[in-house]
Amino acid sequence: MSKKVAFYTLGCKLNFSETSTIGRNLVKDGFERVDFSEKADMYVINTCSVTDNADKKFKTIVKQAQKGNPEAFIAAVGCYAQLKPEELAAVDGVDLVLGATEKFKIGDYINDLTKNDFGEVHSCEIADADFYVGSYAIGDRTRAFLKVQDGCDYKCTYCTIPLARGISRSDALANVLHNAAEIASQGIKEIVLTGVNIGDYGKGEFGNKKHEHTFLDLIKALDQVKGISRLRISSIEPNLLKNETIDFVANSKTFVPHFHIPLQSGSDALLKLMKRRYLTALYTERIQRIKQVMPHCCIGVDVIVGFPGETEAHFLETYHFLNALDISYLHVFTYSERDNTEAATMDGVVPKNVRNKRSKMLRALSVKKRRAFYESQVGSEFEVLFEGENRGGYIQGFTENYVKVRTPWNPSLVNTLHKVKLKEITADGLVAIEFLNSEVIL
């Protein structure tokens, strides 16, 4: 009888794509993949180190696994496993910890799944994480996360990602296209491109530093893949989002009008302290350019509150900057100190209660921004890709420009595209729709 393995993923879309690939490899090795809530012989937890909460959550997930099967073998992989392997290995119940280069070879490190007295660690020096492993995740029947790039050469003072994932390197273009075609062959309609710094695509493509291809080359090639209805760019640095890319997306049949562009602060003084590679003037230019060629484009923004040295004046500068920008929603991160980062040693530590207050203010601004964006789209016609879950008698989906809609549950709508008119915003903040025809587009 085949052994059962279950996975839990913390963190970003990139982690989800890698979990999926590790899972497929173990299935090839003879394992049967089951849900994390089920009894399994092995539980694999893909960790994250971006926030303090992700670190704390790990112990909770280990306890969940132990409840499912007290005798199960528990392995930890991912960013936190690379940064603090000994810490994870010391958590009660953890048998194996694999770092950045080892996680894709998990099958080589497990023998008979006998529990270890102490967590065993296999973790490389991060300088050795210089090769690329392609991945993609199929989380549901409608969309897939496709990894195109890994690592980062930036030195942002708050970030541990370069320490956890190594230098910037890219998948070979031919392999990306192969994976995209494989996804399309499984009937999935949407691909979300993911990586640590995807705008840097092309660097390290064949193990060398120079770019064989650019990000623009990548999206032009993906635009030609047959069988995919939508391509979505996940998160891209403002300094790497070129006008040519914006213009290409505006005219593409498959790339959708949706960008997620990290800002982190609306104060130039703080952007310099963070060692970001742009100032607010460039950021404003990017937003204006997008809205000029795609007025209906959805734009998401990452922002950090409570960075060391952030005064009330700096925070208000950020608040007013974001309030005035034509953006659609925010992802707000409350700054948390990370070991081995420059920011952790900086003066001007912002008290936790002040960080939380500022975070609440920006989250409220995000709600306002999303509502205003949805209102601006009511009355317009779009295509909706419906998802697979029955949520309280309703089925949900997203328009090309990331407006979340709902309509009464109908299983025949799952994973289909329909032309709709946006009618009104419902009490739960989604948008009710009117079908413009009963035919399925794809």
Q: What is the pLDDT of residues 278-333, one digit of tens each?
A: 999 999 999 999 999 999 999 999 999 999 999 999 999 999 999 999 999 999 99
Q: Are residues 397 and 415 in the same domain?
A: yes
* pLDDT recorded at residue 137: 79
**Residue-number span of the structural domain to which 396 is assigned:** 381-435
Which pLDDT belongs to residue 130? 66
User: Could you tell me if 396 and 413 lie in one domain?
Assistant: yes
* In-domain check, residue 310: yes
- The residues, any chain, with a CB within 8 Å of residue 112's CB and separated by 6 or more, are none
* Residues 386 and 415 grouped into a single domain: yes
**204 is a domain residue:** yes
User: Domain for residue 285, yes or no?
Assistant: no
pLDDT for residue 114 = 82
pLDDT for 127: 66
Structural domain includes residue 296: no
The token duo for 167 is 């230098």
Q: What is the pLDDT of residue 52?
A: 67
Residue 290 domain-assigned (yes or no): no
What pLDDT does 139 receive? 63
Kindly state whether residues 423 and 365 are assigned to the same domain. Answer: no
Please compute the mean of the pLDDT values over residues 423-434 and round it to a whole number.
94
Mean pLDDT is lowest, of 49-63, 190-204, 405-419, for 49-63
Q: How large is the average pLDDT for residues 78-104? A: 91
CATH code for position 36: 3.40.50.12160
For residue 289, tell me if it sits in a domain: no
Q: Is the pLDDT of residue 442 over 60?
A: no
Residues 80 and 30 both lie in one domain: yes
pLDDT band at 350 (very low <50, low <70, confident <90, very high): very high
**Domain edge (last residue) among 377, 403, 426:** 377
Q: Are residues 244 and 325 located together in one domain of the fold?
A: no
From 96, 124, 152, the end of a domain falls on 124
In a domain, 218, yes or no: yes
In this prediction, residue 437 carries a pLDDT of: 75
- For residues 140 and 216, state if they share a domain: yes
Q: Which of 79, 97, 124 is the last residue of a domain?
A: 124
> What is the CATH number for 335?
3.30.750.200
Evaluate if residue 441 carries a pLDDT over 70.
Answer: no
* CA dist., res. 381 & res. 401, Å (int): 11
Q: Are residues 232 and 337 in the same domain?
A: no
Q: Domain for residue 40, yes or no?
A: yes
Total domain count, the chain:
4
pTM of the model: 0.89
Q: Which of 322, 335, 398, 402 shows the shortest CA–CA distance to 364?
A: 322
Secondary structure in 3-state letters for the chain: CCCEEEEEECCCHHHHHHHHHHHHHHHHCCCEEECCCCCCCEEEEEECCCCHHHHHHHHHHHHHHHHHCCCCEEEEEEHHHHHCHHHHHCCCCCCEEECCCCHHHHHHHCCCCCCCCCCEEECCCHHHCCCCCCCEEECCCCEEEEECEECCCCCCCCCCHHHHHCCCEECCHHHHHHHHHHHHCCCCCEEEEECCCHHHCCCCCCCCCCCCCCHHHHHHHHCCCCCCCEEEECCCCCCCCCHHHHHHHHHCCCECCEEEEEEECCCHHHHHHHCCCCCHHHHHHHHHHHHHHCCCCEEEEEEEECCCCCCHHHHHHHHHHHHHCCCCEEEEEECCCCCCCHHHHCCCCCCHHHHHHHHHHHHHHHHHHHHHHHHHHCCCEEEEEECCCCECCEEEEEECCCCEEEEECCHHHCCCEEEEEEEEECCCCCEEEEECCCCCCC
Share the mean pLDDT of the chain: 92
Position 55 confidence tier, pLDDT thresholds 50, 70, 90: low
